[in-house]
Amino acid sequence: MEIIHRDGLARIGKFSTAHGDIQTPTILPVVNPNIPTLTTEEMVSLGARAFITNSYIIRRNTKLRERAEKYGVHSLLGFDGPIMTDSGTFQSHVYSDVEFSNVEIVDFQRKIGSDISTILDIFSEPDFSHDRAKEAVLETHRRMAELPPIDDTIMAGPIQGSLHMDLRKMSAELMSSSQAGYLPIGGVVPLLENYRYDDLVDVILSSKVNADFSKPIHLFGGGHPMFMGMAVLLGVDIFDSASYVKYARDNRMLFQDGSRDLSKIGSFPRWSPLYGKYTVDEVRNASPEERFRLLSMHNLSAIFNELEEIREQIYQQRLWQYVEARSRSHPYLFRAFLRLLDHSGSLEKFEDLSKKSTFFYFDEYSERGPYFRRIERNLGYLMSPDKGKFRVLSPDHWHPGRIHSLEFVSLYERTSERFLVPWNNTVIPVELDETYPFQQMISSGLVRPDSMAVAGEWPADGKLPEGIESGSRNFRLERVRTVADFQFGSGTGRKLFPDACEVRVSRSTGRLRSVLLDGRLLATLRAHDGFFTLGIAGAEILHDISPGLENRVVVTDDSAEFNAQGYNVFFKFVKKFDNAIIAGNEVLVVDDADHLVAVGKSVASGPEMGYYRKGVAVKVHRGVREKPEADQD
């Protein structure tokens, strides 16, 4: 699995198979070779790029088996792209037994040329006891272990465990350490059918964060567009479902916010393949076979329409906001969103340092999200008692982006107190007003009237307010130090930017631009998010003041030679790393002897870094062997 774009646990990725790449997130439509509803050509025209079919059904049917064995499953389905085959686990669960063993059904999948083959795992119902679910987990792993090494198909190792999160964790770890290269989450269809999305949040997250991040996560049966955004937010890469035909069989149509009965539809949406070709009455009055086919086309289009929107939200790094807004479309979905908020602490470590898009603040629920958790944690360091006194500015005197008047700067530099400004239901240091997300946001303004204690107003005569402590300091220098503390950890700013630093501002915008020391560029402040990009001189200081693996990615000696010249770091050359690395933050690239070789931006978070073997791990912007940087406006 290779990351192309990311947004927390969600990712647009590329997964390679023998018959081509699968770009995620996507869905594999279920194809029943016994009952073809739509042709593969029709489904490809609607967005399908890979399919899943059931090898057990094929094997039990003499005609289908003979054709698949002779010509392959791709010929059987009339499709030359990636095809995954299921093993008959669900049939085994429903009918108590199947006539083929695990080894036999896997051998059959390999024989017919499946790109992704699935073991005959043990299905776990949501009401299974802990002991029974554990037996299923261990037996499923035993069945994977009994297979010889396989290299002619990608093996799918389902993660089971019912609603016991310790077993989901166990199963994810066992399957990740096996030869499985693909990790479906099993035993969830009953939860999906009963809209138990809140339980699904627990199941998916427990499976995802304990699995190998380099292997795709597949949600078996997760084909309703209403829950897809939240599932992808939790790390699901691939879905499969026959929902497009199941709903059509009941004359129901899928939409992003739920399903609707054909008898209650007034018109077709513009994105539907039925729009402009059929009226609602024509579809209602069509023969059962034709109506079934047309509704299946609409339903499949609804699924791919939602996936296309999800991919765009990931690209824009707005998926959390999208899910937060969409969660109000159905009570069961909102209940799942509240469960999602309970996991914000676990999700925070996967959030990027900043986002491409503006941060949205809706209401108090927004404060419980993972990015807010990071803000609270970092602000806790900055506003600890040992930082001195704090004074909160009145909202009447707080104007984002315009607080730094000459009068304010003059007053600030004659004091030793720290000043806070209102921000939604909390307060932040005034020095961070241009740092993401404090200025790069749109707020509903729905804040609690009693959420902030306001103390004091700035006098118009320029005199210090009564009772305020006097002092002497440089506003620009304090600003860059506070940003450094927020970005790299409390206490970093003063060490990274000593008193002798020169802080320059842009001639065109007046905003902070760069920090130099003895003519060497320490850091540049990024205009889009207010965080630092380090120069080699700054990286050297951060290296000297950071102990152990802190802020580091250790690479092989061969890689270090190229990274020192400014080339990117690839995952396969990473040996060790700081597990606390934040995706999108600055990291130090060092060799085994801890010699600094480059500085760059991490593509992945620390918990993910050790899993990937394809793609860029650190986007290097300066190597130690490149020419010295020059500060430019």
Q: Which residues are catalytic?
A: 86
φ, ψ dihedrals at 261, nearest 5°? -75, 135
- Enter the tokens of residue 317: 């790094």
Pick from 14, 50, 45, 15: which is nearest to 30 by CA?
50
CA dist., res. 291 & res. 300, Å (int): 14
Region label for 457, one of left (φ > 0), alpha (ψ between -120 and 50) or beta (otherwise): beta
Give all strands (DSSP E) within 18-153, no chain letters.
20-24, 26-31, 51-54, 83-86, 116-118
Give 421's Cβ-side CA count (13 Å radius).
Answer: 19
Residue 239 near residue 26, CB atoms below 8 Å? yes
Dihedral of the CA atoms 179, 137, 338, 438 (nearest 10)?
-30
Q: What is the dihedral of CA 573, 577, 579, 581, to 10 degrees?
A: -90
**Inter-residue contact 26 to 305 (CB < 8 Å):** no
Angle at 615 between CA 173 and CA 574, to 5 degrees: 65
Q: How far apart are CA 443 and CA 500, in angstroms?
A: 39
CA distance 223 to 51: 13
CB 55 within 8 A of CB 309: no
Q: What DSSP character marks residue 556?
A: -
Q: Quote the DSSP letter at residue 547.
A: -
Angstrom distance (rounded) from CA 624 to CA 547? 20
* 293 neighbors 281 (Cβ within 8 angstroms): no
